[in-house]
Structure 1
Amino acid sequence: MVEALGNKTRQANKVLRRERILKIAMLQIATSGYEEFTLSKLAAKAGVSSPTIHNLFGKKDDMTKEIANKMMEIREVAEVMMASPALGDPIKNIAFTLSIVRKTYEHQDTYRAAMMIADKTGAFNDPESMIGQYSLRARVFLEQGCTAALAQGYLLGNIETSVLVDSIFHSHRRARQDWVLGHIDFEEYCHMISRDMLLTYAADASPECYKRLCKEIKRVSSK
């Protein structure tokens, strides 16, 4: 009984130690970049030996894969939110999109570290990877919003929906990349998403919707 309890305690401590070291690793990658990340630097920062890191995680690739898989937790949160009915009103759709972004990236170090790893491994273009799947789902979500806006008369249809979606999707990706690499902070990232979506919708908006979008663009730009 005592031995079993001791084993249970040791296992629990091992899990806690792994989680603590993993958080330190994600912070290091998020702040210093993937190239600068080494297990020896991680060991020094975590106050443990290099063999301990290897025993707990294996090689660097093993650890970075585990960090990248943290995207599954992020993706699950976003999936629930993106399953909601598409909002046709562009301004409401943009507000909802920003709420998804803020909720999805609540744990910023986890996300930034996973994104850096994905960028180096080509996971964005791999539909089998967690990040690749999330990217595809995000595109579908944007397409549903544009389609609903057209059906409800907010858009004129002079510009193909696929063109609008491409514009929004790639502007999101550029802004996200700037944030991940530390060129802009998170609030500026959200600001860029809002502004670019407003400008894209305005390019094909009905007269009444165009007036509302211009008013919102002016408000956002004044911040």
Structure 2
Amino acid sequence: MGNNQLMHSLKFVKKLHQKKYRDKTGLYLAEGKKIVEEALKLGLIEQIFITKENQREFFNASVIEEKTMKEISTMEIPPGVLAVVRKQVGLKLSDDKTLIVEDLRDPGNMGTIIRSAEAFGFAIGLLGNCVDPWNEKCVQASMGSIFRVSISFYTYEDLERLKDIKKIYATYLEKSFNPKDVKFSKNGILLIGSESHGLSERALNLSTDFLKIPMTGQVESLNAAIAASILMYMWNQ
């Protein structure tokens, strides 16, 4: 790659730090040897940038200086391997179980939920004002599951239509059932809100069944990732 072409590519990589360019291009960034290797196995890589110390690890990669890597990396301490990755389109991990998160803003929680969704065979749905699942912190927290899990966007109108043909289970503190006493339908949706606000009134009104995870001690709530993981596990029992 010539210097002019490399400089153009580096400028493009910096743009992918912003959601609007990730949305526009269908591309995002992944960093670290292991996670980039996973994307490479799936054929999702557009371009790889590495520092000299990682030169033996990847073929057909652009070798750049550590200073340049720090400029394009999204991490405080760059791992020295950065890739431009294509978003998966139309990927279906599960045709019958979907976890929909509403207004989830924490990227660590989002990434962990995506990882758990792969482990328990769920697709992911995004409702309301959620964090971009393809931002750098979500990608890192997903540990590569972002490459394999179906992620779709939902509206409240979508839920209105779906509740006539699917069970929609929502987490709610009042008039709720212990999940272990619920016989989950194969073709269903699990709704999770943020720990601080829970689900909106609108989302609750579109739900058909309500769940509450029993807890002891003085703990009043669990964060979204933990609650979602527990409920997805219990769904599969």
Scaled to the shorter chain, the TM-score interval is: under 0.3
Q: Which of structures 1 and 2 has the bigger CA Rg?
A: 1
Higher strand proportion: 2
Higher helix proportion: 1
TM-score by length of 2: 0.26
